[in-house]
Chain A
Amino acid sequence: MAATGVDVGAPRTEAAALRERARRARRLRPQRVVLHAFLIATVLIWIAPLAWTVYTSLRPYQDTFRLGYFSIGGHYGFSNFSHAWSQADLVRFYGNTLIVTVPAVVLTLLLSSFVAFAVSRFSWKLNVAVLIVFTAGNLLPQQVIITPLYRLFLMIPLPAWMNPSGTLYDSYWGLIAIHVAFQVGFCTFVLSNYMRTIPHELTEAALIDGASVWRQFWRIIMPLCRPALAALATLEFIFVYNDFFWALVLISTGDKRPITSALANLQGLYFTDDNLIAAGALLAALPTLIVYLTLQRQFVRGLTLGATKG
């Protein structure tokens, strides 16, 4: 600081800074208490709906009928879960989800890394235009496109082995296709930002050695994108798993619907009381809760990868 370099100056300011810091820490303590109190209250409010759902799901209907839902006592157990599971044939709906989600996520990641690679590693005239089309497409509300899409799906024929009713409508193929087409926008956007940060020297060396473009993509770029791909895979799994709208409109056969959108039908048909509804909702949320407990970091990373870059 001081250009004259007076030696005594430094220790004195250091001590002053320490005193100041200590003073501030003391002064801040009541503020911290208030902050913690506020955060604990927020957390309690935030957890209450879920806690209520879990609590309701653990009690047999007879007990809640006798004692009321807002009560303690009676039996606690998992009978609602086993009833919901078997009565509503949940295995079938989980199976539907699997049939749609796995191909949708894999294809989305593959196709979007194709585009991201092409637009981020090479300079084309249309680079920005392609990115804008993909990004804007991903931001549209689904309802903007649903009416013509619905007609389009009814018009596109499929061979009977792909869908017995003979159209893209009411088929897993159609559902997978729209998931991929819609999500590819977001993933392209994120991956192209990510790939742009990979130094060009890495692929230039390969190019000089005569490696083809495909080899650069598959052997150099894709392995380097593994962290981003893992985060996006987690995120996209949740996005597709949580879809309600596409399956509701584009799948007419109730038994073909994935679990999230099937829930609306099951409630009323099989989930006749609040206890069963609670258990059914929790069962449908189970895979996402497992991801929350095990892959939360990846999920958050996927979200923020997209957000902090645009």
Chain B
Amino acid sequence: MATVPSPTPAGPRTRRRARKLTRRDKVVLSVMVAIPALLHIALVWVPTFGSIALSFSRWEGVGGFDTIQWIKTLNYRQIFTIYPPFWPAVQHNLIWLGFLFLATGFGLFLAVQLDKQLRFTRFYQSVIFLPVMLSLAIVGFIWRLVYSHDDGLLNNLLGTHVDWLGNSRINLWAALVASGWRHVGYIMIIYLAGLKALDPSLREAAAIDGANEWQSFRRVVFPALKPINVVVLVITAIEALRAFDLVYVINKGTNGLELLSVLVTNNIVGEASRIGFGSALAVVLLVISLAFIIPYLVVYFRGSFAGRGAR
């Protein structure tokens, strides 16, 4: 599991080794990097920049590139002002983000509890972890059976007649519970690994100093988990921004379940293919994502390459 990587080898040694590489070795190494890098750049980064470029255009997708009209920021202006599902989708994405952070907190709480010398802890872990294996699409099918109006588990248990997935005022929350069901186990298992890797003397020292359980967690354990907290933060944010499968299975992301990811997709698989407009929506999603991705990369790569031994 977690092992601290040795810092990148020191200069002189590296140079000595580098001199021993033959020309053929260098060619082999270059090819080994080039093939995956080209594939990755061609199918991930070219489309990313493609989204940015096309977001300033109008293109129905029929005909060649010469049929593209460049319309500056018109798509964005339309999205922000007259495109009805946009602001609800942004709001739903933000709620999704907030809710998943709550679920993350619960996952951390469970991890801390299950990390105590506890009987049956493996059993508890296994059950809570089970939904993590399932695809979000299947999670959607399972929860549809739970939320079903007349025949569902929930209404029958509670004795209510709530239309959990049909009522646009509550279906977002119903979907979030289903999404949290899977997310909690994911976060729990990551934190459990982090807690196990923690130096036990840290907690012992805190106990000797007379810290109670909460103080020792708050002051010692949680700060020591910083590298994992950073990962969990980015995982949670990206999961919330990627959310798609679940709402698509429930009702194709309509009637209260609009999300940015759904709006983007509707512009290509939907009836009207509006490449430029869909790209502009994708760029909005990109900008929100970068607000989490860039700080993460800065923290991670600064830590591990300055040789400070961040994991």
Contact = CB atoms under 8 A, between A and B. Distances in A.
B189 interface: yes
B224 interface: no
A248 interface: yes
Contacts of A200: 9
A308 B47 contact: no
Contacts of A69: 148, 151-152, 156
Contacts of A185: 40, 44
Contacts of B134: 242, 285, 288
A296 interface: yes
B70 interface: no
A289 interface: yes
Contact of B145 (A53, A142, A151, A289): A53
Given A144-B282, A200-B9, A212-B28, A130 B37 contact: yes
Contacts of B136: 242, 244
A26 B115 CA distance: 20
A257 to B, nearest CB: 11
A261 interface: yes
A115 B33 CA distance: 5
A304 B41 contact: no
A117 B25 CA distance: 13
Nearest to A243: B135
Contacts, number: 323
B110 interface: yes
A111 B36 contact: yes
A220 interface: no
A144 B48 contact: yes
Interface SS of chain A:
helix
B134 to A, nearest CB: 6
Contacts of A137: 40, 44-45, 48
Contacts of A52: 142, 145-146, 153
B20 interface: yes
A97 to B, nearest CB: 11
A63 interface: no
B178 to A, nearest CB: 8
Contacts of A248: 248, 269
Nearest to A43: B127
Interface in A286-305: 288-289, 291-292, 296, 299-301, 303-305
Interface in B137-161: 137-138, 141-146, 148, 151-153, 156-157
Interface in B64-107: none
A213 B18 CA distance: 11
Interface in A255-308: 260-261, 263-264, 267, 274, 277-278, 280-281, 284-285, 288-289, 291-292, 296, 299-301, 303-305, 307-308
Contact of A301 (B1, B18, B29, B234): B1
Interface string A166-186: 000000000001101110110
Contacts of A136: 293, 297
Pick from A135, A147, A280 the residue with the most CB of B within 10 Å.
A147
B48 A140 contact: yes
Contact of A260 (B135, B242, B264): B135
A207 B20 contact: yes
Using C-beta atoms within 8 Å of the partner chain, give the interface range for chain B.
Answer: 35 or more
Given A49-B146, A134-B40, A308 B2 contact: yes
A261 B138 CA distance: 10
A308 B227 contact: yes
A304 B2 contact: yes
B246 to A, nearest CB: 9
Interface stretch (A78-86, A98-106, A118-126): A118-126
B190 A148 contact: no
Contacts of B130: 46-47, 50, 292
B14 to A, nearest CB: 4
A76 interface: no
B304 interface: yes
Nearest to B116: A35
A274 B248 contact: no
A200 B5 CA distance: 12
B39 A147 contact: no
Contacts of B6: 196-197
Interface in B245-286: 245, 248-249, 260-261, 264-265, 267-269, 275, 278-279, 282-283, 285-286
A188 B51 CA distance: 25
A46 B128 contact: yes
Nearest to A281: B141
Given A48-B153, A133-B40, A151-B275, 12 more contacts: A49-B145, A143-B261, A143-B264, A144-B48, A144-B264, A147-B267, A151-B50, A242-B134, A249-B265, A263-B141, A281-B138, A304-B189
18 contacts: A46-B127, A49-B142, A119-B33, A136-B297, A139-B296, A143-B260, A144-B285, A147-B275, A147-B282, A151-B50, A178-B43, A264-B137, A285-B134, A299-B133, A300-B193, A304-B1, A305-B1, A309-B2
